[in-house]
């Protein structure tokens, strides 16, 4: 599974990255988490509110930081 | 043997499943009932607390702490507790309210509206208004800007959003409401939205598109009119409420320290700075007071939470409200860190024109308020 955290580097983006990593560890899914900070690349995903979470090329969360459990749910879906 | 075992197992699993299912829905509705009940109890409690707050704080500071109501210290401490608690209540309620609006009208939906509907000039009002009700985060302003440009929304309309978004935000509104009252808050928020509209319209007329960064211009040239329907999550209000309340609380927690520091400074000044202390430099009859306040404010990157309590003392000590509002707008609406962020999407010349226009507008507003208020 390919997970990307989109964010220009604000506090919220960092907490999303942390929560995602925790969710991956918790669910034990085989996934790579990468942080995308380049604005040009972020815009390719057509998001207007950061942070955003992309799983296998699909934007699943934008503009908010969900809880670890919520992310875990998205990962196992 | 093996077979029967697996059948047995299968059976066991199905029974477990059938038992689990109603249990789960049961649990869900129980959760909902608990949610409704807690809102029904807590909301009136908060409102009652707000209503009786002055009496409660009086009892606390003068009866329990046995401070003298006539003394500077007593007055300052009373002010501090009253203002802090009041602003926390307001901030929490307003953040949650804005969260509700946002859940139903997110910015993606606004973009679809702005690009697909004919608005006859109303798009400036729309963009500016939504700038006001969305929670502002400076790190979101760039993706937003690009998102608008990408959707083929005119630059002027994008500016309308960009001007109002930091200017009228939940923290500023809550602080104003708590410290200056209802009338000043309406004036502040109303003129904020109005300024976004007029500023956006004016900047749009200047045809600044050539001063966008090259890669943004490229996006603009390839802008696609969006016709896709907005595909929001179809969650019921009750499912959304916990997240909304959690986010509202998150905003309160984030500015908690700034509010306390700001109010502590304000309370200290209240008790000790003599009446009419600032009048000599910043009174209404000094023509340079407004530009001075605004120019002084632009490089300041204080957040609304920290700055409003201090401004309130200024006003209490003789600075006219118009000058104070202008100062406040310049502090939150124009900041250098934001300018450096915008550098990614526009050339310096455009940032200069953008900031220059807003500065002039704020100064004019300051004069106007001093005249009419």
Q: A50, B247: Cβ pair inside 8 Å? A: no
Closest CA to B79 of B253, B255, B256, B269: B269
The answer to whether the CB of B332 falls within 8 A of the CB of B167 is yes
Q: B143, A50: Cβ pair inside 8 Å? A: yes
Burial class (CB in 10 A: 0-12, 13-18, 19+), B55: exposed
pLDDT for residue B197: 94
Q: A43, B140: Cβ pair inside 8 Å? A: no
Summarize the confidence of residues A25-47 as an average pLDDT: 85
Scored b (16 or more CB within 10 A) or e, B81-113 reads: bbbbbbbbbbbbbbbbebbeebbebbbbebbbb
Residues B89-145 have pLDDT tens digits of 999 998 888 888 877 777 778 888 887 777 777 889 988 988 888 776 666 778 888
Scored b (16 or more CB within 10 A) or e, B12-29 reads: eeeeeeeeeeeeeeeeee
* Chain B hits for A14, Cβ within 8 Å: none
Closest CA to B94 of B41, B155, B169: B169
Q: A46, B106: Cβ pair inside 8 Å? A: no
Q: Which of B138, B139, B143 is nearest residue A43 as measured by Cβ atoms?
A: B143
pLDDT for residue B309: 86
Omega before residue A51 within 30° of 0, cis? yes
Could you tell me which CATH number the domain at A2-76 has?
A: 3.40.30.10
Residue A19: active-site member: no
A13 has a chain B CB within 8 A of its CB: yes
pLDDT for residue B110: 81
Calculate the alpha carbon distances from B194 to B131, B154, B191, B262, B338 in Å: 11, 18, 5, 28, 21
pLDDT at B261 over 60: yes
A48 has a chain B CB within 8 A of its CB: yes
pLDDT for residue B199: 93
The dihedral sign for the CA sequence A35, A16, B252, B264:
negative
pLDDT at B203 over 90: yes
Q: B111, A48: Cβ pair inside 8 Å? A: yes
The DSSP line for B51-89 is HHHHHHHHIIIIIIS---TTSHHHHHHHHHHHHHHHHHH
B226 has a chain A CB within 8 A of its CB: no
The SS3 of residue A2 is: strand
pLDDT for residue B51: 86
Region label for B65, one of left (φ > 0), alpha (ψ between -120 and 50) or beta (otherwise): alpha
Tokens of B103: 């859940």
* Stretch (H or E) spanning B100: helix B72-104
Summarize the confidence of residues A58-75 as an average pLDDT: 84
Q: Give the C-alpha separation, B39 to B329, whole Å.
A: 35
Interface test with A, best of B127, B139, B230, B337 (most A CBs within 10 A): B139
Tokens of B369: 């308020």
The structural domains of chain A, with segments of one domain joined by +, span 2-76
Tokens of B274: 């003599």
Which one has a higher pLDDT value, B22 or B25? B25
3-state helix, strand and coil shares in percent for chain B, rounded to the nearest 5: 80, 0, 20
Residue A64: active-site member: no
Residue found by looking up tokens 């005119």 in the block = B154
Summarize the confidence of residues B265-287 as an average pLDDT: 71
DSSP β-ladder status, A2-6 and A52-55: antiparallel
> How many Cβ atoms are within 10 Å of B179's Cβ, its own excluded?
23
Closest CA to B298 of B328, B260, B330, B323: B330
Cα B312 to chain center, whole Å?
A: 19
Summarize the confidence of residues A31-46 as an average pLDDT: 85
Closest CA to B195 of B369, B28, B335: B369
pLDDT at B302 over 80: no
Residue found by looking up tokens 């929490």 in the block = B92
Q: Which of B107, B219, B344 is nearest residue A49 as measured by Cβ atoms?
A: B107
The structural domains of chain B, with segments of one domain joined by +, span 1-54, 107-229+255-372
């Amino acid at each position: 599974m390919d997970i990307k955290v989109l964010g220009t580097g604000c506090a919220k983006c960092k907490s999303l990255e942390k929560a995602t990593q925790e969710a991956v560890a918790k669910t034990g899914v085989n996934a790579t988490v990468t942080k995308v900070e380049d604005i040009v690349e972020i815009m390719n995903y057509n998001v207007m509110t950061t942070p955003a979470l992309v799983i296998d090329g699909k934007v699943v969360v934008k503009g908010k930081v969900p809880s670890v459990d919520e992310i875990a749910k998205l990962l196992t879906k | 043997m093996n077979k029967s075992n697996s059948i047995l197992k299968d059976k066991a699993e199905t029974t477990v499943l059938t038992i689990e299912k109603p249990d789960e829905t049961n649990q869900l509705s129980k959760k909902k009932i608990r949610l409704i009940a807690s809102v029904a109890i807590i909301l009136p409690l908060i409102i009652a607390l707000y209503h009786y707050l002055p009496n409660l704080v009086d009892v606390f500071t003068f009866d329990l702490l046995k401070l003298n109501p006539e003394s500077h210290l007593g007055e300052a401490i009373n002010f501090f507790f009253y203002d802090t608690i009041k602003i926390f209540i307001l901030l929490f309620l307003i953040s949650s309210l804005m969260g509700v609006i946002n859940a139903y009208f997110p910015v993606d939906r606004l973009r679809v509206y702005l690009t697909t509907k004919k608005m006859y000039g109303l798009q400036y009002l729309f963009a500016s208004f939504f700038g006001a009700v969305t929670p502002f985060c400076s790190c979101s302003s760039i993706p937003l800007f690009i998102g608008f440009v990408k959707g083929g929304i005119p630059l002027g309309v994008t500016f309308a959003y960009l001007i109002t978004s930091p200017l009228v935000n939940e923290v500023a509104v809550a602080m104003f409401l708590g410290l200056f009252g209802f009338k000043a808050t309406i004036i502040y928020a109303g003129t904020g939205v109005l300024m976004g509209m007029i500023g956006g319209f004016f900047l749009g007329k200047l045809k600044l598109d050539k001063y966008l960064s090259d890669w943004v211009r490229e996006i603009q040239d390839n802008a696609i009119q969006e016709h896709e329907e907005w595909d929001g999550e179809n969650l019921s209000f009750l499912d959304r409420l916990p997240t909304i309340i959690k986010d509202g609380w998150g905003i309160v927690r984030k500015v908690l320290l700034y509010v306390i520091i700001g109010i502590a400074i304000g309370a200290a000044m209240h008790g000790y700075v003599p009446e009419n202390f600032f009048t000599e430099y910043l009174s209404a009859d000094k023509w340079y007071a407004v530009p001075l306040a605004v120019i002084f404010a632009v490089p300041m990157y204080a957040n609304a939470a920290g700055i409003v309590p201090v401004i309130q003392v200024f006003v209490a000590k003789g600075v006219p409200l118009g000058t104070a509002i202008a100062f406040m707008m310049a502090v939150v609406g124009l900041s250098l860190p934001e300018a450096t962020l915008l550098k990614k999407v526009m050339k310096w010349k455009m940032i200069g024109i953008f900031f220059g226009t807003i500065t002039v507008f704020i100064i004019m507003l300051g004069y106007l308020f001093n005249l009419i208020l």
